[in-house]
Amino acid sequence: MVICIPRFNVYIPKDVSDALNALSQRKDLIPMGGGSDLLVLIRNGIVKADTVLDLWPLRKELAYIKREDGTVRIGALTTVSELCESDLIKDVRYAGLADVCKKFSTPFIRNIATVGGNVGAAHPLSDIALMLLVLNGKVKLLSKNGEREVNIAKFFKGKRRTVRNHDEIIAEVSFTETPHNSSTAFIKFDRRWGHAMGYVLVGAYMQLRDNIIEDVRIAFDSTGNPYPERVWTTEEFLKGKEFSDELIKQALNNVLPKEMKRITDYRASAEYRLDLSKVLLRRALLKIKSRIEGGG
């Protein structure tokens, strides 16, 4: 029986160095993590694949969550459900990652989708990439010639385009442990629960001392470019000031709209998205404040 699905070859590497060798020698290899994104793109004809490099066998080396020397390291092939079941997200400082888990696609996709794949897909609605942005994370890229670390804020170049060279694979994402008077939050707004894409996604990190905002980082799914980005001016405006309703109102009405351009498409209009961005950012900041104060 002939099944009509796109045809391609699969290269199954023995270990990381085998995969890197193959990538450096062959230009036609497309690395695949979980496959929940790439296989759909191939099926829809958006990506023409000749040979797919299946990274799944590298899970014995690249699937881990380590917390050592003040750094959190997450292997690129850690699945989202492994991240969601880990102790890391029980830490109130990383409650934003727990928010991600609650709304990340569906349980069966979480079982195959990987952390590295979510970052490498460079889609505006990449939940984990958004949280890494506010945690000031780094992406470790491995190639045959060595490794390099790129700050995630400089990792994306466009929709589905990153600074990753052809011969590199994403090996790890990492971020420095945040101080104890800080926390994170993530809000995705959509009409549905399963497979929610979100009209607007917001991730935020805030550090409070005596109600003064010591540090704040805010990222949206898009601020004009088709990839997640931080809203630097709004962050600067909030930094060092006392947390109050009046301050947030000013930031939302006077600062945020100036640096954010939203698009209109079949899912939502630009006006609605901008309005929603304001509402969700306010909710996220209040959520973080109550988390820092022990409200959960």
Which helix H or strand E contains 229, and what residues bound it? strand 229-230
Whole-angstrom Cα distance, residue 259 to residue 75? 34
Nearest distance in Å: CB 12, another protein: 6
With respect to another protein, which residue has the nearer C-beta, 86 or 223?
86
Residue 112 CB, shortest distance to another protein, in Å, is 6
Asked if 210 and 121 touch (Cβ cutoff 8 Å), the reply is: no
Minimum Å distance from CB 8 to another protein? 5
DSSP 254: I
Residues that bind another protein (CB under 8 A): 1-10, 12, 34-36, 39-40, 43-44, 54, 56, 81, 102, 105-109, 111-112, 193-195
Give the number of other CB atoms < 10 A from CB of residue 113.
Answer: 24
Please identify which residue in the block is written with the tokens 């590295």: 116
If we measure between CA atoms, which residue out of 114, 95, 216 comes closest to residue 173?
114
Pick 56 or 272: Cβ nearer another protein: 56
State the nearest-atom distance from the C-beta of 95 to another protein, in Å.
17
Look up residue 259 and give its two tokens. Answer: 């640096």
CB of 263 to another protein, least distance (A): 23
Q: Is the dihedral of CA 129, 135, 136, 141 positive or negative?
A: negative
Minimum CB–partner distance for residue 1 and another protein (Å): 5
Token pair belonging to 234:
């709004």
174 vs 136: CA distance, rounded Å: 9
Radius of gyration of the chain (CA): 20
Q: Which is nearer to another protein, 31 or 137 (CB)?
A: 31
Residue closer to another protein (CB basis): 28 or 214: 28
Residue 151: half-sphere exposure toward Cβ, Cα within 13 Å = 9
Min dist CB 192 to another protein, Å, is: 8
- Smallest distance from the beta carbon of 62 to another protein, in angstroms? 15
Nearest CB to another protein, comparing residues 81 and 250 = 81
Nearer to another protein, 112 or 248 (CB): 112
Q: What share of the chain is helix, strand, coil (3-state, %, to 5)?
A: 35, 25, 35
Cβ burial, residue 90 (10 Å; 0-12/13-18/19+) = exposed
Closer to another protein by Cβ: residue 60 or 209: 60
Instruction: Decide whether 105 or 250 has the Cβ nearer to another protein.
Output: 105
